[in-house]
Amino acid sequence: MQFSKRAAKAKFTVKDMQAFADATPLQTSNSVLSLKSTGTMAKGSSALHNAIRASTGRTSLIPSEEGAGYSVDISFGGKTFEVILDTGSSDLWLAEAGVKCVDETMTRVPTAECGFGPLASATFQAGQIASENFNISYGDGESLTGVLGYESVGLANITVDKQEVALVREAYWKGDNVTSGLMGFAFPSLTSAFSGTDPSVDNENTTAVPYTNWIFNAIDKGLINPMFSLAIERGSKGGGGQLALGGLPDIDFNHTFTSTPLKIIELTPHAIEAKNYSYYTIVPDGFLLSGEEDTYYGYQEFSEHPSTTYPVIVDSGTTLVYLPERIADIVNALFDPPSVYIEEEGVYENYCDATPPTFAIRINGTDFYISSADLLLTGELGLDTETGGCVTGVQPMDGGIYILGDVFLKNVVAVFDIGASEMRFAPHEKY
């Protein structure tokens, strides 16, 4: 089997930052929300895919990423809306009544073509910010602009008053007719507010105006412990799960946790992102796998060099696991039969009844195994209707940006301990 060649990876750097608090005590949260599978993904995380696009000149979105997001219900100004949850971006935005929808050529089209759910009121209860505008674009070409203001926003039984949020007034969007917007849980350095009222002159380095987003406001105001956790469950259309604010989800799982520090990762030339926490980034120890005896005898760790480290972003808004090219090639070669790299799609695929290898990601000395059900996506989520094949769960990524998406997260309970600047993981096997 001959594999296609891909572009060389770009350089990047990471920094350690001292945690500013002890690890948050772990207990079941009183503020737990159900995650719902939605037909609109979190765009592979807006800011993250913008960084990939800047680094590699292309987006990494592939067929299995489409229609693979998770949503939660929020209270916004006293009304309930369903929004996409994204740990790889930071803004909360809703499409407002009267939103102007456009196509890829920026030509106006009927509002229904954007596929938004219920639209929000065109006013903020606590007032609009006159000197700022909202402006965000996505790796797949979609874009949104609008205004910012203050609103009362609640999740579960937690409400943040006067939260800075965005109402979208113009959108190129491909929605699911259910979700009305998106809520980001990443660090405030990734927010998309800019000074002035003209989006055409917005600049990440000179006019960006970072603000405190909902999850950090809830922590700063003492409404929740400084953490949240995710338990994502698999299903033929993406699955569901729980988001727990300030604690652990209310599910049965192995409570043996492994912790690892968050890193600052310099992916883009944007000064704010480069010098501050942005994504939930960790550095695994390595990887572990086994396959056919004529290829590997038992389990084997592998890396390109003992001193090589690969920072990875933990992201609920990305479906797959994206790893360095050589590692992804080895994993896919150990499928039975070996997976094939489809150049036109930019993705590894295999027969939908193929046998995956045993594969684990080692984090601070603990091996977290990925289920074979996630290493080969055989449901609607992973079927390529053009080839008849199924997408594999581990894919190559160039540009030095690697991601642990839902293929990994479905096998763990993930704790985003903001207070201690660390991630904690426990096996999630009992479902």
Q: What is the pLDDT of residues 308-330, one digit of tens each?
A: 578 899 988 788 899 888 889 98
In the chain, the number of structural domains is 1
Q: In the prediction, which pLDDT does 5 show?
A: 30
Global pTM reads 0.86
87 is a domain residue: yes
Q: In the prediction, which pLDDT does 4 show?
A: 33
Q: Which domain holds residue 185?
A: 36-223
302, amino acid identity: F
224 within 8 A of 246, measured Cβ to Cβ: yes
pLDDT of 167 strictly over 60: yes
**More confident of the two residues 266 and 328:** 328
Q: How far is it, in rounded angstroms, from Cα 386 to Cα 399?
A: 27
Instruction: Quickly state the pLDDT bin for 59 (edges 50, 70, 90).
Output: very low
Instruction: Quickly state the pLDDT bin for 48 (edges 50, 70, 90).
Output: low
**More confident of the two residues 267 and 225:** 225
Q: Could you read off the pLDDT of 381-429 as tens digits, one per residue?
A: 778 878 889 999 999 987 667 899 989 999 999 999 999 999 999 999 7
Determine the average pLDDT of the residues in 321-343. Answer: 91
Give the count of beta carbons closer than 10 Å to the beta carbon of residue 8: 9
84, amino acid identity: I
pLDDT of 297 strictly over 50: no
100 is a domain residue: yes
Q: In the prediction, which pLDDT does 296 show?
A: 40
116 is a domain residue: yes
Order of strands, edge to edge, in the sheet holding 13-16? 13-16, 263-266, 281-282, 312-314, 402-404, 321-323, 394-396
SS3 of 11-32: the string is CCEEEECCCCCCCCCCCECCCE
pLDDT of 57 strictly over 80: no
Structure-derived torsion over alpha carbons of residues 209, 214, 218, 224, reported in degrees to the nearest 10: -140
Tokens of 193: 């507010």
Mean pLDDT of the chain: 82
Q: What are phi and psi of 201, to 5 degrees?
A: -110, 10
14-18, 211-215, 246-250, 388-392: least confidently modelled range: 14-18
pLDDT of 209 strictly over 70: yes
> Which residues are marked as active site?
86, 315
pLDDT of 14 strictly over 60: no
59 is a domain residue: yes
Q: In the prediction, which pLDDT does 430 show?
A: 61
| Residue 205, phi-psi category: left (phi > 0), alpha (psi -120 to 50), beta (remainder) | alpha
Distances in Å between the alpha carbon of 13 and those of 10, 16, 310? 10, 10, 10
**More confident of the two residues 236 and 79:** 79
Instruction: Quickly state the pLDDT bin for 1 (edges 50, 70, 90).
Output: very low
390 is a domain residue: no
Q: The domain spanning residue 95 has which CATH number?
A: 2.40.70.10
159 is a domain residue: yes
Q: Could you read off the pLDDT of 91-120 as tens digits, one per residue?
A: 999 999 999 999 999 999 999 999 999 999
Q: In the prediction, which pLDDT does 146 show?
A: 96
Of all residues in the chain, the percent with pLDDT exceeding 70 is 78
Q: How far is it, in rounded angstroms, from Cα 336 to Cα 159?
A: 50
Q: What are phi and psi of 227, to 5 degrees?
A: -165, 165
217 is a domain residue: yes
Order of strands, edge to edge, in the sheet holding 300-302? 300-302, 286-290, 358-363, 366-369
52-63: string of b/e by CB count within 10 Å (b at 16+)? bbbbbeebbbbb
101 is a domain residue: yes
